Amino acid sequence: MSISAWILAARPKTLPAAIVPVWVGSSPALLNPDPAVGSWLLFWCTLVSCVCIQIATNLFNDAIDHEKGADTEKRLGPTRVTSSGLISPRLVMGGALAFCLLAVLVSIPMVQARGWPVIVVGLVSLYFAYGYTGGPFPLAYRGMGELFVILFFGLVAVAGSWYVQTGEIGGAAIWVTALQCGFYSCVLIAINNLRDRIEDGGTGKRTLAVRFGERFAKFEIAFFCLAPVILGMLTMPDGLSILAQWVPMLVIGLVISGLVFRTPPGPVYNRFLALGAVQLILFAVLQSL
């Protein structure tokens, strides 16, 4: 067992889905010219806590998928450390629990600043770190992965980060941004599920790609790439701002959609996942301008 195996288990390529919503939700306060607005301490606590929960989710997923036989020799994605024997299932589960504990410890300043709402959101997030693939109703096995991502990596993470910074629920602009962020994060899971559709179908993992087929999954990816652009253009009154922020997002969304429609699912989809991560990061950068 090596450090590189643990890094592989943490799946660093998925971490933008945890980092971007925290930045997008926090940056309006952090970049406010009034120095009394925003807290970098609370930002770092929020960021580290969310990243820890994301890593815990990945570790739980690795071990539970192995236990359920969902990772087979047909796998097209990156190597899973449990099924490949790099790390024992017990250690992977222990690592997941350790990251959950670290998320709790790091969140203490957030609880002190904002009180019980942080506790409620934190407990629910910790449960679904496990319940995404484990427990009596594993969301990933019921075709609810996309809904989970929109809710937690969009609405909860963005609006929650804004609440931690300001103590306020946030107006329409924050919630639209949260929905856009959730859609862009869904691009990653939708590409992943389309790539693994055949394997998942044979192991009882009933993702939307398995339930409704390849054609549906490709249109789903295109929707998640392009719907945030439409939302942005409809809610942003300044024409120059539309050009600066949403034309680049439209271009990369069309590129990803075109590649997916022209290419049968296979290992090359791992490159499309990387493009999806770039799309998510570009969204965060343009939102900060």
**Positive/negative CA dihedral, 23, 25, 27, 29:** negative
184: helix, coil or strand?
Answer: helix
* Residue-wise pLDDT tens digits, 250-273: 999 999 999 999 999 999 999 999
* Residue-wise pLDDT tens digits, 197-225: 998 888 888 999 999 999 999 999 999 99
252: CB partners within 8 A, 6+ apart: 225, 275, 278, 279, 282
Tokens standing for residue 267: 């290992």
CA angle 61, 268, 284 (to 5 degrees): 65
Confidence band, pLDDT 50/70/90 cuts, at residue 103: very high
**Positive/negative CA dihedral, 211, 213, 214, 216:** negative
Confidence band, pLDDT 50/70/90 cuts, at residue 25: very high
The DSSP result for 60-113, as a single string, is HHHHHHHHHT---TT--SSPPTTTTTSS-HHHHHHHHHHHHHHHHHHTHHHHHH
Average pLDDT, the chain: 92
Q: What per-residue confidence (pLDDT) applies to 59?
A: 96
Q: Is the pLDDT reported for residue 75 higher than 90?
A: no
Its pTM stands at 0.93
User: At 259, which helix (H) or strand (E)?
Assistant: helix 239-262
Q: Is the pLDDT reported for residue 242 higher than 90?
A: no
